[in-house]
A and B are shown apart, each in its own frame.
Chain A
Amino acid sequence: AQSVTQLGSHVSVSEGALVLLRCNYSSSVPPYLFWYVQYPNQGLQLLLKYTTGATLVKGINGFEAEFKKSETSFHLTKPSAHMSDAAEYFCAVTANQAGTALIFGKGTTLSVSS
């Protein structure tokens, strides 16, 4: 069985500050990991994903995440927050390429203040 825990349902940062959104997973098999963003009244957009290989994954809009197997973590970071980053962020895990479901965390709402 797989599960995802996102630490902190709300994170607030100032514009220009570091963004750190935490995600820990549980998986009995090597995981594939994802971060999605949802802007208000919109669908889900893939930010980045980890499948195999390099553990530091770069995504769109300046975001990156590092897969740390020993810590079962896949935290999302961005060096400098923009107002446009305000959205809800979801971490998700699946078992493998032929997986049947994405298991999502409960989401973290990011607020950015000027």
Chain B
Amino acid sequence: EAQVTQNPRYLITVTGKKLTVTCSQNMNHEYMSWYRQDPGLGLRQIYYSMNVEVTDKGDVPEGYKVSRKEKRNFPLILESPSPNQTSLYFCASSRTGTGGNTIYFGEGSWLTVV
């Protein structure tokens, strides 16, 4: 079954404690991306990757890091989380880019920073 798997699904953490949200896809997709969803703001892109070792900033990259060492994995790293990073995070993947191909989303990771 085609899947984008995110972990953890729910996390409460404290300000400044580094955390990683993992994302893995089993479809051999080249494109992967992270979005955050906030009430009244819709989804905004944090980072994306067009292939292994190729990453770039989206609209709201501040406070986040990513890496793409393997094709299937695209972890999101919060080096020093702050309360304004409390949000719902989605990982997405597709074969090539965001246009004609189906984009698959993970189920989301609820992150609360206190």
Q: Number of B residues whose C-beta is below 8 Å from A?
A: 28
B102 within 8 A of A: yes
Min C-beta distance of B83 to chain A, whole Å? 22
Tell me the residues in window 5-59 of chain B with beta carbons closer than 8 Å to chain A beta carbons. 31, 33, 35, 40-45, 48, 50, 56, 58-59
A3 to B101, CA, bound (A): 20
Min C-beta distance of B86 to chain A, whole Å? 16
Chain B residues within 8 Å of A94, by CB: 97-99
Q: Number of A residues whose C-beta is below 8 Å from B?
A: 22
Q: Is the CB of B56 within 8 A of A100?
A: yes
B82 within 8 A of A: no
B78 within 8 A of A: no
Min C-beta distance of B61 to chain A, whole Å? 12
Q: Is the CB of B97 within 8 A of A99?
A: yes
Main secondary structure of the interface of A (DSSP, over half): loop
A18 to B103, CA, bound (A): 28
Chain A residues within 8 Å of B107, by CB: 42-43
Tell me the residues in window 76-98 of chain A with beta carbons closer than 8 Å to chain B beta carbons. 90, 92, 94-98
Min C-beta distance of B37 to chain A, whole Å? 8
Q: Is the CB of B42 within 8 A of A102?
A: no
Nearest CB in chain A to that of B58: its residue: A101
Of the stretches A54-62, A66-74, A104-112, the one at the interface is A104-112
| Complex partner residue of A101 from B33, B102, B108, CB under 8 angstroms | B33
Min C-beta distance of B31 to chain A, whole Å? 8
B90 within 8 A of A: yes
A17 within 8 A of B: no
Can you report 18 residue pairs joining A to B where beta carbons are below 8 Å apart?
Answer: A32-B98, A32-B99, A43-B90, A43-B107, A46-B102, A96-B99, A97-B96, A97-B100, A97-B101, A99-B98, A100-B50, A100-B97, A101-B48, A102-B45, A102-B98, A104-B43, A105-B42, A107-B40
Residues of B within 8 A of A (CB): 31, 33, 35, 40-45, 48, 50, 56, 58-59, 90, 92, 96-103, 105-108
Other than the given A94-B98, A101-B58, 4 more pairs (CB < 8 A) read A42-B107, A90-B42, A99-B98, A106-B41
